[in-house]
Structure 1
Amino acid sequence: MLQLTEWETSASLTLNSSQRHALETRFEAVVRATGHGDEVTVRPSGVVGSVTVSGVPIVVRPKIPIDRVLFMTAYAADPFRWEENWSAIAGVDDLGDGMAALFVAACRRTLQRGLLRSYRTVDADLPMVKGRVRWNVQARRLAPLPVASRFQVHDDDITENRILREALAVLRHSRLTDPALAAGVDRLWRSLEHVRPLREPLAALDAITWTRQNEHYRQVLGLARVVLENSMADLAGGTVGTVGFTLRLHDIFERFVRTALREAVALTETEFPDSWRGKGLSLAESGQIPLVPDLGVRVGGQWRFVGDVKYKRDDGSGHEGDLYQLLAYATATGLPEATLIYAQGPRARTVHEVRHAHKRLYVRHLDLSASPQEVLNQVHALAERVNTRQDIELPTDAWF
């Protein structure tokens, strides 16, 4: 086994081409020659997890406890019910097992009252008329049978369950170290294997409309998205199963901070969206310098808050490139201030007054090694900047 830690340079190693390719592409690692034969050093970035290449497991561990990574994942999926899953992941020491445990726990709770059922439209050729005849198809046939029919059925073979099936298929082919957890995945699989496979589950997930009928599936499908986005095929064979699972911690951290801030100030996803990509924010009047902040609040057509999230360590004052980016956001939105949030650094607050620009840049840091509730309390303190820009008064008990 090759075991590494994010952002730490390894001792000298000897790698084959497949292993090096996996480290550079999947873990975004920097591989440098040492000058001693074929030996190299490896410095992974903020991508953690494990893959198996040429029969050798490659594991990159996060610097923070693995259960904190899973806590952020669970909270981003459902900020109201994350604590129900904490017992399944507290103290877990393997990312793949932890993600599977989190997903299995959410599935069991969601499906305890049975699989969701709904109406769906079926097109089929039948020996008799059922529902409506598809005349555009039937008219081109020489024989009267079969009849091209379209009808509705009410069953559990629907998009939501088909997405769960695909996520469970991924986990079944993962190399879970806990036999009890693998058995739990198999039991869930048997309850869903009868539904049809889904060719593009992530696209289908994006297209789901949430209603009172399927709202209770929101958390488990959010976790299914994480499983499906971060699984990978065998790098050696290319098409054999799924033997790797990784998480890009910048994405996990960004989703967590945005969700926690949104809940802290009770905003909708329209006012505080997941992405500002393609929504017209630009540094130039011509629109030729588009900007995509990680955090942004706009209410009634007016910007109220803008900020950025960086999964990196900072000494307290902020990295120059990050501050220039933050200044561009404040300038483009017309706001007098913007906030930069780092994943690690001193708890002391830093404020930069920008010369001649009349802009104020706030630099804040979270301690992700703290307990989940303490991490949430830290985000609550950051929400003061959002409150100020919104000019709303938040009750003292509005957080949790």
Structure 2
Amino acid sequence: MNDFLSTIDTPALLLDLNKMDANIKDIVRFAENAGVNLRPHLKTHKSIKIARCLLEAGAIGVTVAKVGEAEVMVAGGINDILIAFPVAQRTKLARVKKLQEKAKITVAVDSMEQATLLHEFFKNGEPLNVWIKVNSGLNRVGVEPNEEVVELAKHINNLTALCLNGIFTHAGHSYAATSPEQIEKIANEEAETVLKSVKLCEEAGINIKHRSIGSTPTFKIAGAIKGITEIRPGNAVFYDMIQVGLGIATQKQCALTVLASVVSKKSDRMVIDAGSKTLALDQGAHGNSSITGHGYIIGYPELVIERLSEEHGIIPLKHEVDLKLNDRITIIPNHACVVANLFDTYLVYQNGKVIDEWKVDARGKLK
């Protein structure tokens, strides 16, 4: 174990700055080579400092899931934000209107009813930028890439308070892929969904400037297809065991880990101070089946965090291990996005030394 880990109170969220920087450089290099813009999703890290790292590296703006996340980022000086969520409640729209005074805000739209509500709310002020979200197979939000997308585009085009300038999708079902071939197929369908939707809209006389795809497992495939103009990976800044299981990343690329301590050791089990309120219960977003247990213990691949209660992680012992009370273990989370949201701060370290502590600024901003 690194000596500096022995002085850290646990459980703690550790961020390896060298690995994160390498991941960011890799994303930016791909975007530059593919000739696409980078608008990373911040739901993974929820950090103003990490957002600035991405912008300084070459990102043109950021993506968020919630208005609350957008408010945090605007307060942090970030001025180009896509809210990739179909916002329609008046209380949220009032907050979006305030954000427009300080930043360029774009809102996802996936129905004529929502578009009409947005128009009514913004008709006496600055027009609102909107992007249509299309469904590329995740079957969550989004219109279908057929006449449905054209009907919505025509409807928006007739609403003077809205400015339609983008179509986007998110192939989140790639997280459930079982082979590289399946990921490639999903990625191609992701890009095709956007490009088909754009073509249909432009045949109807509606120009679409931005053609955006997301999803860490697919962005290097879909983002390389001619006609796509933007990528929105989120998890790729950290990576995690889901990405490792998919073959998208290696364990050595995982920049985010959880440090935990042994709090009890019995003949048949060991207990750590990292339970569901630390590691989360997510063993695989959208059905990924490559995951064993609740995180990977570095240096002890034979140990499995088999079950979690709120504050306890239980590891069955089938043979003796060289871990005793108060010893530390380092865990790569299954799903970095939900784990980061459980902590107040990242302990940032570099070359075996803690160099800073960064806030998880938008933690808990669910509204």
For the aligned pair, the TM-score class normalised by the smaller chain equals under 0.3
TM-score for both structures, normalised by structure 1: 0.25
Structure possessing the higher relative contact order (Cα contacts under 8 Å, 6 or more residues apart): 2
TM-score for both structures, normalised by structure 2: 0.26
Structure showing greater radius of gyration is 1
